[in-house]
Amino acid sequence: MKNKINFFNANGWVIEREIFSSGEIKKIKEEIDSFLRDNINNYKGRDINFVNDVADLNNLNSFHKMDDCNYIKKLALNSKIYEISKKYLSSKKPDLRACELFAKPKLYGLSAPVHQDNFYWCVNDANALTIWLALDDTCEENGGVFYYDGSHKGGILEHTASFAKGSSQKIKDYAQLKTYNLSIPKLNIGDCIIHHSLTAHGSKENKTDKNRRGLTFQYKSEKSFYDNKLKLKYENSLNTQILSRN
């Protein structure tokens, strides 16, 4: 355990293998699909994105209100996932921020520009993280998430509007990342990757014949709070982008 925490602190990300069995992942997928089939038309704008603007489950690019599903929210708060958040945040009772689905469907899954989560979240001390659960086998070829090792130590970087669906900001000057090693972890179904809220990361397109679905659980320390001034600035940028897409 100590070695993994040391790796996380050094690199800003770490893998936890076989958190869920294939049978458990099948159940999670079924619950997600059932919720989306019943509710897909109840969401719009910032909450849901489709690769070609056709509101169909097969075209889903990202869904940002997955914690509206009672099954997923319960999973986030009452399972080993929650224990992982406690361990890497050094927190007794982390706050659940959100759960999101990044679907990246086969053949035409969209890329995600390089960004830092805390530019969106605006947690005052950045003591927050994402647990990314692989619902499908994930690798570089089908759009696996890549990370800039140790980039969380450099603080928040300047971002600019990306106008990308599901990831509205991007790091403005990628030259700032040249000093960091780039890692593209390979995950099997049921594995999790945990990354710090300041770790620079992104993903490429999925042009393969294999889906690359990732379910995320986001937490912050219960002692941390949101910088409302920064949050309002981000929200205004996001709303401008959404209006421009329409």
Domain chopping of the chain, boundaries:
2-245
Q: What is the pLDDT along the chain (246 residues), one digit of tens a residue?
A: 679 999 999 999 999 999 999 999 999 999 999 999 999 999 988 899 999 878 889 999 999 999 999 999 999 998 999 999 999 999 999 999 999 999 999 999 999 999 999 999 999 999 999 999 999 999 999 999 999 999 999 999 998 888 888 787 899 999 999 999 999 999 999 999 999 999 999 999 999 999 999 999 999 999 999 987 777 766 666 666 655 655
**pTM of the entire predicted model:** 0.93
- Give the neighbor-by-neighbor strand order of the sheet with 128-134: 13-16, 192-196, 128-134, 214-220, 95-102, 60-63, 48-50
Query: Are the C-beta atoms of residues 120 and 130 closer than 8 Å to each other?
Result: no
- The tokens 């969209």 sit on which residue? 110
For domain 2-245, give its CATH number from 1.10.1040.50, 3.40.50.300, 2.10.60.10, 2.60.120.620: 2.60.120.620
- The pairing of strands 192-196 and 182-183 is unpaired
Closest by CA position to 134, among listed 1, 9, 24:
24
pLDDT of residue 169: 86
